[in-house]
């Protein structure tokens, strides 16, 4: 295999082309989807995609399952609501929320520094549960019973985004930025170190890879993205409550990443679309949604362990694998 072919495998091609296609898709959807209820679902898809990408960084890249992601979303939402009550500009409120959740990620990472796998998941679950109790009872920061209303609309350059259609463009812009950062990480040398940290941490340590440091970085970055999504949801809806970021959403983020596939961040977009649309399509069976999601997880894990992106990768070689292409790869 030539050096160029090896580089292609390490740094997947076409990522920026896919990003451009995603941007075009967002633009087309903004023009096609006009019904108010449908635009609301579209916005939910975008904001859950942002939150899912944050969890992707922690779980798929860092190799750690963090139940604390919904806690970070809530922390970002309450932080931006508190800063908004002080009369600070929208951008300052959101950046403040990102900074606070980043510090929260540092705190959680340092507390659970040496824990592995199951114990890390339990530790972050404890953080989420403690956070829910604290948010529900700290009225000074989170309002009565953890509910805050009247949060200001997003405001960009003195222009207030009041409708769902206007907010969509802000959410879409943020999603594209997060995707761009993820593409950069996946195409850089950082990707190889993250693969080693996730797949073979013991071996990675022996060759000098700072496993714990990289795990902390992915946790902090993913938590910050979670806080960003929580802040955006809060300003968009003008309201935040403890129940908005419960354990059900934490399981939903896990489902989004697993269904999309751990191997590709693009799968998060498909997983988020599924997570948003299925409850709407099966609204008459709402009481059975937990059963449905449980069965879906079993099917994905047993039949399609690679998720939607893995299924696409399995089909792609059949389209590209002509005798001539295989001969060129060997040369």
Burial of 150 from C-beta contacts in 10 A (0-12 / 13-18 / 19+): exposed
Q: What are the tokens at 320? A: 């590209």
Q: What are phi and psi of 62, to 5 degrees?
A: -85, -15
Distance between CA atoms of residues 96 and 79, nearest Å: 7
How many other CB atoms sit within 10 Å of the CB of residue 190? Answer: 15
pTM: 0.86
Q: What are the tokens at 133? A: 């109790």
- Would you say 51 and 245 are in contact if contact means Cβ atoms under 8 Å apart? no
Q: What pLDDT is stored for residue 58 in this prediction?
A: 93
Distance between CA atoms of residues 154 and 169, nearest Å: 11
Q: What are phi and psi of 173, to 5 degrees?
A: -60, -45
How many other CB atoms sit within 10 Å of the CB of residue 284? Answer: 7
How many other CB atoms sit within 10 Å of the CB of residue 14? Answer: 9
Q: What pLDDT is stored for residue 319 in this prediction?
A: 46
- The residues, ordered by sequence, that sit 6+ positions from 115 with a Cβ below 8 Å of its Cβ are 123
Q: Which residues of the chain have pLDDT under 70?
A: 1-13, 283-286, 289, 304-331
Q: Which long-range contacts (CB under 8 A, 24 or more apart) does 9-16 make?
A: 10/191, 10/192, 11/186, 11/187, 11/188, 11/191, 12/186, 12/187, 15/183, 15/186, 15/187, 16/183
Q: What pLDDT is stored for residue 2 in this prediction?
A: 39
Nearest C-alpha neighbor of 289 from the set 251, 262, 258: 251
Nearest C-alpha neighbor of 297 from the set 257, 250, 241: 257
Q: What pLDDT is stored for residue 239 in this prediction?
A: 92
Q: What pLDDT is stored for residue 6 in this prediction?
A: 35
Distance between CA atoms of residues 22 and 17, nearest Å: 9
Residue 136, SS3? helix
Residue with tokens 């946790």: 219
């Amino acid at each position: 295999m030539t050096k160029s072919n090896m580089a292609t495998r390490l740094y997947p091609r076409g990522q920026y082309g896919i990003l451009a296609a995603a941007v075009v898709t967002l633009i087309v959807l903004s023009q096609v989807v006009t019904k108010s209820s449908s635009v609301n679902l579209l916005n939910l898809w975008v904001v859950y995609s942002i939150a899912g990408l944050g969890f992707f960084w922690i779980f798929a890249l860092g190799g750690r399952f963090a139940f604390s992601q919904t806690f970070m979303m809530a922390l970002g939402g309450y932080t931006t609501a508190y800063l908004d009550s002080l009369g600070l500009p929208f951008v300052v409120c959101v950046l403040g929320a990102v900074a606070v959740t980043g510090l929260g990620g540092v705190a959680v990472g340092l507390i659970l520094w040496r824990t592995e796998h199951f114990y890390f998941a339990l530790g972050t679950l404890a953080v989420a549960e403690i956070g829910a109790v604290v948010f529900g009872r700290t009225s000074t920061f989170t309002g009565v019973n953890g509910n805050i209303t009247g949060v200001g609309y997003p405001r960009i350059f003195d222009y207030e985004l009041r409708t769902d259609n206007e907010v969509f463009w802000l959410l879409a812009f943020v999603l594209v930025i997060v995707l761009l950062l993820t593409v950069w990480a996946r195409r850089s040398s950082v990707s190889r170190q993250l693969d080693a940290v996730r797949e073979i941490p013991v071996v990675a340590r022996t060759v000098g890879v700072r496993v714990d440091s990289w795990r902390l970085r992915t946790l902090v970055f993913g938590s910050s993205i979670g806080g960003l999504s929580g802040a955006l949801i809060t300003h968009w809806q003008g309201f935040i409550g403890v129940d908005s970021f419960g354990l059900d959403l934490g399981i939903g983020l896990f489902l989004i990443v697993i269904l999309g596939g751990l191997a590709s961040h693009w799968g998060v977009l498909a997983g988020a679309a599924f997570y948003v649309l299925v409850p709407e399509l099966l609204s008459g069976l709402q009481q059975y949604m937990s059963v449905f999601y449980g069965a879906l997880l079993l099917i994905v894990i047993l039949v399609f362990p690679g998720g939607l992106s893995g299924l696409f990768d399995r089909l792609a070689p059949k389209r590209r694998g002509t005798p001539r292409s295989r001969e060129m790869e060997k040369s």
